[in-house]
Amino acid sequence: MKKGGVVVENGFTYEEETHLTVLKTSLFFAGDGFTVYDCKGELVFRVDSYGQDAHDHAELVLMDAYGHCLLTIRRKRPSLHQRWEGFRGERTHGEKPIFSVRRSSMIGRSTVTVEVYGDPGDEYRIKGSFGQRCCMFYDAANQSVAEIRRKVDASVHVVLGKDVFSLSLKPGFDGAFAMGLVLVLDQINADDDNVDDVSTDVDPLNEDSNMLS
């Protein structure tokens, strides 16, 4: 797949840099649900509540504004590392995933890597702290393609809580794919409340942090 190419759905790629607002729909349990809005306040994606023990559930479903299933995220078990797989639409038995996400931990660092199937060598890395809502998404050429940031209320210059954050997309990068990765990051964060950093080897505030501002 070429840089910025479509993974899930062509209808959610944009010709210009795009900023989406992501809202967690429950304050009680990590991963209960999400709604995602564009800059006009129109609903783009939603993930309905999947229960109190969300991080123990096997599958999550990303839908568009009309409730059509775009992507199914499935936790792969057993697995040496935390691993998730993404399936286009509603996953059926025997269907092959279109990408996988793994968290690999080594001494002093933890990294999330995304492998897209069907195009050898196509890989993304996510660096930063999802727990702090500060992450950068990089392609195989180490170019930033998306960013997660805390949302700021410009009218009063106040940083909003972690339940509301921005997902910024570079032109041509699939928003549905990016949101699927957000779901995985949320689950990983819920699995390990004591580890906020998705990757500790790079501080996204000091590397390419203004590319999606």
What is the predicted pLDDT for the residue at 193?
54
- pLDDT, mean over the chain: 79
- Of 144-148, 159-163, 173-177, give the lowest mean pLDDT range: 159-163
DSSP class of residue 179 equals: H
Q: Could you tell me the CATH superfamily of domain 20-199? A: LURP1-related (2.40.160.200)
Distance between CA atoms of residues 199 and 178, nearest Å: 17
**Cα–Cα–Cα angle for 171, 176, 182, rounded to 5 degrees:** 100
Own/partner pairs for 115-120, CB < 8 Å, 24+ apart? 116/1, 116/7, 118/1, 119/1
Q: Is 51 strand, coil or helix?
A: coil
Where residue 209 falls among pLDDT bands split at 50, 70, 90?
A: very low
Cis peptide preceding 171, ω within 30 of 0: no
Q: What is the pLDDT of residues 49-63, one digit of tens each?
A: 554 444 455 688 999
Instruction: Please state whether 157 falls in left (phi above 0), alpha (psi between -120 and 50) or beta.
Output: left
Q: What is the pLDDT of residues 180-202, one digit of tens each?
A: 999 999 888 876 654 444 543 44
Domain boundaries, the chain: 20-199
Cβ atoms 179, 168 nearer than 8 A: no
pLDDT reading at 41 higher than 90: yes
